[in-house]
Structure 1
Amino acid sequence: MLTADPTQPDLPAIPSKRYFTIGEVSSLCDVKAHVLRYWEQEFEQIKPVKRNNRRYYQQQDIVIIRQIKDLLHNQGYTINGARQWFSSEQGSDESARYRQVIRQTIIELEEILKTLKTGS
């Protein structure tokens, strides 16, 4: 299980599974489902897999959604401003949008190592 995001400590940890329903993502990101559907239209970075008229999000989608939420709700960005932030910050470097996923993974591995060392 990935730990909670240090920049958004009020959000729960992201479980280590491959796909999440829109309801699960809504709970994990503290964002209503209709907002998630709207953000999908506004941000090309959110790319859920669609099967049988259902959305299935992956961990990187959740990380991006949390980043969008932080930009809009905590840092005061508009939708256009957040879109530009993604274009300038992450669009220039293809792998940049996965940096937060990597950070989350490192935190998780450090916690596992700590647990193994303490024997708990």
Structure 2
Amino acid sequence: MDSPLPSIPAKRYFTIGEVGELCGVKPHVLRYWEQEFTQLRPVKRRGNRRYYQHHEVLMIRRIRDLLYDQGFTISGARNRLQELVHGDRSLNRGLNEPSGLDGESTALNEHAGEFSVFALADVDFSSDNSHDTSLQKELVAIRALLTI
């Protein structure tokens, strides 16, 4: 869309109104997406109030990007998210392979559990599938080096 989304504050939980403002989506759309995307499961507390966590805000931004900016249908966006999650799982499995570089494999293995599809949410992997895995591995390696 036209204007960039605001940065996500360092909070543990966000109300549906806050998430709507952070993601540029109205609350009724968020409630609908909860029905369509099983990955969205906000905590419900007293009075059935929804509280979203940081990773869910990132997921909503990714869904919004797929639907509004990339033109996916709900079904197509659901499938694309599942592809990204499956790719992320196989990427984490690939981190256990020896690398040949001193210490790199160990550092990656130590941090493998910290990576998820949401850490790569702002990267567009839609252009060429043959480069997805190598690009994802490179990004994970860079991130691991930055967090050491």
Unaligned ranges ≥5, structure 1 = 1-7, 104-109, 111-120
1:13 aligns with 2:33: no
TM-score w.r.t. length of structure 2 = 0.59
What displacement does 1:93 show?
Answer: 3.2
What displacement does 1:88 show?
Answer: 1.4
Specify the alignment match of 1:90 in structure 2.
Answer: 85
Change beyond 3 A, Cα 1:47–1:31: same
Specify the alignment match of 1:63 in structure 2.
Answer: 58
Specify the alignment match of 1:99 in structure 2.
Answer: 119
What displacement does 1:86 show?
Answer: 1.0
Q: Kindly report structure 1 stretches of 4+ aligned residues shifted beyond 6 Å.
A: none
Give SS of 1:31's match.
Answer: coil
Across the aligned residues of Structure 1 and Structure 2, the Cα RMSD in angstroms comes to 2.6
What displacement does 1:74 show?
Answer: 0.5
Counting matched residue pairs gives 98
> Identity of aligned pairs, percent?
54
Give distance in 2, aligned partners of 1:98 and 1:77: 18
1:63-103: CA deviations, max 9, x gaps?
Answer: 000000000000010000000001112135345333237x9
Unaligned ranges ≥5, structure 2 = 90-114, 124-145
Give distance in 2, aligned partners of 1:61 and 1:97: 12
User: In terms of Rg, which structure is larger?
Assistant: 2
TM-score w.r.t. length of structure 1 = 0.72
What displacement does 1:9 show?
Answer: 6.3
